[in-house]
């Protein structure tokens, strides 16, 4: 752009990552400008964001909210679109340099693929894009010379640890996990946990779906899949370590036995800012880590017997094909049911396991296969819940 600012499209601007990204941009208005904002349902917040940042365009995926959005922004020079296809179209706009994919779930796949095909830089905060179709996504990124910069705190940490390490083989990627709010709970305690308790994460501020995934450790399974594709490693090179303090965000061990780690306070704004400013680091007002307040950092192995979702995710990535896609669709369906108080906390694992058994395996899926698999898995998971 003529003013030297990076034009950014934020997909999912009203969610946890989206709102924190706008916090970062608010502090660095000299570096960024908002070209597009999109949301699924939260039209009231989208209106407030549009009035503050005056983007070129805003998109509401829920077409029923279009009239409200259009009327509210009628006095502004802002283009207003609606529908899921519009979300996919806006990322291809020529001025956009960075697309922050902060949408939750499978819905983020299609617009991310469109942005990659348009050669945009992707600040990737949508786990499911790589979980569902990692091989396809990375191949398209290579073909279209689209850079993918991870926003997840763990993958941002690995990305930072690998800076300057070209041609130095990675021996092990160590993904850290907080353990969630139920670390140390017995099976009996897990059977009666409530939605409110599951949404009370000890360290991180996240959206509801991601917070539940953290409580079940499914997010670590997803992060294993992301790491496999982002960093071109085998699953055997990825280790998960529970680190309750959430100070070390992840580590990389090299073949000389040296380990590099990225540390900081648990604040998603830091990896968001790094992704948007890469390769530069810019000043921030984020809380600084005071080691005297964390004299002890502890680590332990995850308990995959009590937190069955992690074991199911490991099995799915080992089998490959469309199994991760099935896993993701079943998990999204199960989490939604738990949040609606239709099933218990442990029942989420049962729904996922039974769905994995009931959907046909495809060894080498294409995009159409992924779409059909997702729809079938959601239907099967719904049958299990009923």
Number of domains in the chain: 3
User: 249 is written with which tokens?
Assistant: 């965000």
Residues 101 and 115 in one domain: yes
Residue 226's contacts (CB-CB under 8 Å, 6 or more residues apart) are 127, 130, 131, 134, 150, 152, 155
* pLDDT, tens digit (0-9, with 9 covering 90-100), for 306-331: 999 999 999 999 999 999 999 999 99
Residues 24 and 46 in one domain: yes
Burial 199-221 (b: 16+ CB within 10 A, else e): bebebbebbbbbbbbbbbbbbbb
Q: How confident is the model at residue 218 (pLDDT cuts 50, 70, 90)?
A: very high
Paired sense of beta strands 98-101 and 259-263, if any:
unpaired
Residues 131 and 175 in one domain: no
Residues 324 and 368 in one domain: yes
* pLDDT, tens digit (0-9, with 9 covering 90-100), for 94-113: 999 999 999 988 888 999 99
Residues 237 and 259 in one domain: yes
**273: alpha, beta or left, given left = phi > 0 and alpha = psi -120 to 50?**
alpha
pLDDT at 1 exceeding the cut of 60? no
Q: Where are the beta strands (DSSP E) in the chain?
A: 6-11, 32-39, 57-60, 79-82, 98-101, 121-124, 148-150, 170-177, 238-242, 248-254, 259-263
Range(s) of the domain holding residue 216: 152-305
* pLDDT, tens digit (0-9, with 9 covering 90-100), for 278-317: 999 999 999 999 999 999 999 999 999 999 999 999 999 9
- The pTM (predicted TM-score) of the whole model is 0.92
CATH code (residue 349): 1.10.1740.10
Q: Is residue 91 part of a domain?
A: yes
Distance spanning both ends of the chain, measured CA to CA: 53
Distance separating alpha carbons of residues 315 and 322, to the nearest angstrom: 12
Angle at 223 between CA 217 and CA 226, to 5 degrees: 155
Secondary structure letter of residue 165 according to DSSP:
-
Residues 368 and 225 in one domain: no
Boundary residue ending a domain (150, 183, 205): 150
Boundary residue ending a domain (121, 150, 179): 150
Residues 10 and 61 in one domain: yes
């Amino acid at each position: 752009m003529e003013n030297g600012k990076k034009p950014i499209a934020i997909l999912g601007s009203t969610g946890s990552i989206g709102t924190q990204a706008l916090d970062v941009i608010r502090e660095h208005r000299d570096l960024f400008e908002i070209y597009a904002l999109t949301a699924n349902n939260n039209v009231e917040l989208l209106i407030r964001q549009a009035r503050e940042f005056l983007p070129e365009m805003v998109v509401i995926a829920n077409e029923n909210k279009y009239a409200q959005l259009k009327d509210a922004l009628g006095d502004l020079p802002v283009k207003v679109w609606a529908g899921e296809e519009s979300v996919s179209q806006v990322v291809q706009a020529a001025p956009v340099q960075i697309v922050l994919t902060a949408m939750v779930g499978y819905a983020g796949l299609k617009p991310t693929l469109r942005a990659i095909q348009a050669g945009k830089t992707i600040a990737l905060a949508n786990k499911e894009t790589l979980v569902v179709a990692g091989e396809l996504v990375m191949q398209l990124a290579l073909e279209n010379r689209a850079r993918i910069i991870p926003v997840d705190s763990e993958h941002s940490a690995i990305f930072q640890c690998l800076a300057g390490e070209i041609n130095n083989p990675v021996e092990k990627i160590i993904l850290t996990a907080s353990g969630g709010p139920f670390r140390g709970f017995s099976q009996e305690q897990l059977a009666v946990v409530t939605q409110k308790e599951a949404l009370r994460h000890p360290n991180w501020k996240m959206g509801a779906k991601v917070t539940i995934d953290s409580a079940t450790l499914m997010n670590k399974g997803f992060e294993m899949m992301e790491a496999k594709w982002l960093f071109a490693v085998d699953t055997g090179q990825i280790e998960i370590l529970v680190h309750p303090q959430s100070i070390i965000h992840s580590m990389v061990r090299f073949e000389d036995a040296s380990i590099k780690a990225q540390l900081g306070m648990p604040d998603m704004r830091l990896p968001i800012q790094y992704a948007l400013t890469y390769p530069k680091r810019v000043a921030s007002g984020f809380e600084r880590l005071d080691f005297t307040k964390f004299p002890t950092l502890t680590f332990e192995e995850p308990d995959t017997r009590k937190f069955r979702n992690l074991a199911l995710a490991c099995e799915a990535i080992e089998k490959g094909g469309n199994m991760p896609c099935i896993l993701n669709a079943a998990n999204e369906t199960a989490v939604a049911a738990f949040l609606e108080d239709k099933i218990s906390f442990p029942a989420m694992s049962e729904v996922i396991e039974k769905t994995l058994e009931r959907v046909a395996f495809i060894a080498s899926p294409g995009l159409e296969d992924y779409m059909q698999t997702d729809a079938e898995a959601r239907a099967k998971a719904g049958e299990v819940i009923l």
